[in-house]
Every structure is written in C-alpha cells, then in structure tokens.
Amino acid sequence: MTNSAIKTDGLSKSYGSTRALDALTLDVPSGEVFGLLGHNGAGKTTTVNMLTTLLGPTSGTAEVGGRSIIADAKGVRQAIGYLPENVQFYDNLTLFENLRFFARLSGLRRPDQRIRDVLGILDFEGHDRQRLGTFSKGMRQRVGIAQAILHSPTVLFLDEPTSGLDPEGVRTLRETIVRLNSEFGMTIFMNTHLLSEVTKTCTSIGILRGGRLVHHDTLDRTLSAFPGEDSLEEIYFHLESKPVS
C-alpha cells in the first residue's frame, strides 16, 4: 500500500463571488513528481497556497505529509519545503551567509554541516563565498531550493520553478528536481506551464480548469490514452477543454 504525501477532500476556496478552487479531491502518493497544470487563473497558486498553509480553505480538508493543513499547520510547515515563484535573498550576503540566515530561522541545530550537505546536493561547491547579487536567475532558483530543503522536508512545493530561465537553467533545474526525487525520496508538487518539462520530469499530472480538477492520472497512462497525439501539448488542450463531469 502506498502512503499519501498529499490528500485533499473537497478542498475549496472562494474570493468573494470567485470560486478559485472548487471541491478538489486529490491523492498524490509519496514518491511522485506531480505536475499541476492549467491556464492562467485556473486555481493552481490558490491550491499550493492552501497546501503550504499560507491560505486557509473556505471549505474542505487536506493532509500534507500526514498532517492536517487546518489542525496541524505547524506540522505541515515542518514536513514541507516551498519555492515560491519569486524568491528573495540578501544580495550583499554570500550564498553560505544567506543559507545560514534561513537555517537559523528554521531552528536547525547544526546549520553549518547541513548547509554544506545541501550545497553538495545542489552542486554549489566552490560558490559558498560568492555574493548572491552575482548569481544568474537559474542559480538563484537552485538557491531557493537549497533554502527550501535545509530542514529535510519530505514534500517539496515548487511554483513555476522554470519560469524565466534559459534552456541551460531549465535543464539544470530539471536535473535537480529529478535527483531530489530519485535519490532523496522527496515527493515533488509543482505548478507549471512548461509542458515539455512536465514530460521530462513528472510521474503524474493534474489539470485544473476554472477551479475544477478535470484530469488526474500518471503521465504514462495519460500519454498512452492518446496514441494519436504526439505531444503532451495536444493532449493537454484536449483534456483541458473536455466537459467537467
């Protein structure tokens, strides 16, 4: 039997009369790289904000890492790492100093050893004394991941992680995500628009439309269900436009 890393039941969020997320019921088993897809305004960020406890639901429930987002928000925050779309650092501090600052905020007992380990995982050897202000956008995204995994979370949330990166940055970030999943067993939940990356990275996908989940399956089953289509893009447009049951 597989454990659920993320389990939602009727999770909903309204902003006034806007139903941003409508009764999301979803089970993401541990060990998946799950991609949440959907047009602009479909409800992806709202979903991630609730699962990371930044936003309370209007109704419904969810468990992340076995903890309730409502009854045990603190426990959820200990179990997860989160890379928001626009992550901020102290540009005048070095990489090591930035990570030490965030490690202290997380209350890590032996921050320096853990920071060295994380720098190794993220292939940052030799950069620890470099100021963040000199880093490329791709490197900054990986620093964001380093920060997010300092406290060894079991579930990592990424909001549009490859947004604005050049092809080299996209590839390096993809390799990092795959490695965190395959070597360190982290479950990954990511919002993304980049369908070519989904094909290379994700093991399962969900598609939101107007706040409703219109598709959820493994990537392999999704691709094999449409033998006539030669790209996930075509399948995405087909699934995204199908009527909601």
Ligand X SMILES: Nc1ncnc2c1ncn2[C@@H]1O[C@H](COP(=O)(O)OP(=O)(O)OP(=O)(O)O)[C@@H](O)[C@H]1O
Q: What does the binding site for ligand X look like in residue numbers (CB under 6 A)?
A: 15, 18, 20, 38, 40-46
Report the distance separating Cα 27 and Cα 217, nearest Å.
10
Contacts with 5 (C-beta within 8 Å, 6 or more apart), sequence order: 28, 29, 30, 31, 32, 64, 65, 154, 155, 187, 189
Nearest CB to ligand X, comparing residues 14 and 152: 14
Task: Name the residue nearer to ligand X (CB basis): 45 or 141.
Answer: 45
Report which DSSP code applies to 3. P
Of 47 and 181, the one with the shorter C-beta distance to ligand X is 47
How far apart are CB 86 and ligand X at their closest, in Å? 12
Smallest distance from ligand X to CB 41, Å: 4
In the three-class reduction of DSSP (H, G, I as helix; E, B as strand; rest coil), residue 6 is classed as strand
- The phi, psi pair for 179, rounded to 5°, reads -65, -45
Smaller CB separation from ligand X, 38 or 111? 38
Q: Are strands 187-191 and 155-159 parallel, antiparallel or unpaired?
A: parallel
